[in-house]
Amino acid sequence: MDADHQLRAIAGIVRAVDGALWLRGGWAMDFFLGRVTRPHRDIDFFCRADDADRIVARLAGLGYRPLPGNDALQRDLLGPDDLDVQVTLLGRDPGGCPTVPAGPYAGARWPPDLLDGPPGRIGDLVCPIVNPRAQIEIKEMMPVWVPGLPRRDKDRADIALLRAALTAERHDAGRRETRP
């Protein structure tokens, strides 16, 4: 799928749901880095479970249709031009930490800072993204959390890019703090 087409879709989705989604996966990394780093098969988001029905209804107005098999964990949508969009649902524990909302892992905690990342940007397009530190944790731990899920080369590459960017960001912040 063409990156420009996906970026236009992300822009339309973000406008339609007014900040109720956070990009995750490869697009979240690209928005953190400020550039497209590789082709993407789909667009992945997180949303709060309480917002899922409203979001799906708004996206239906943009031509997205729910695919069979949607449940309390994720909504798979097929958009115009067969654009694949996945919306993973989040619950919250009493302290506000994001959790798995249902199923055998209901209540399992996602990284506490999952939704605390700064907005990401590619060009003029700004989008809520998952925290890059949490993104690294998820990409590292997913094969542990889901036995049998292979470690993918693209995940290794994404982790390296995110780590390098976070290290550079900390280094730049440290230099700004030490200036007179």
Q: Give pLDDT tens digits for 98-123.
A: 999 998 889 999 999 999 989 999 99
Average pLDDT over residues 52-81: 90
In which band, very low, low, confident or very high, does the pLDDT at 62 lie, cut at 50, 70 and 90? very high
Domain ranges of the chain: 3-131
DSSP element (H, E) containing 91: strand 84-92
pTM for the predicted model, two decimal places: 0.87
Average pLDDT over residues 38-56: 95
Q: Is the pLDDT of residue 124 over 60?
A: yes
What is the Cα–Cα distance from 74 to 90, expressed in whole angstroms? Answer: 9
Is 3-131 assigned to CATH 3.30.460.40?
yes
Which of these, 124, 135, 144, lies nearest to 28 by C-alpha position?
135
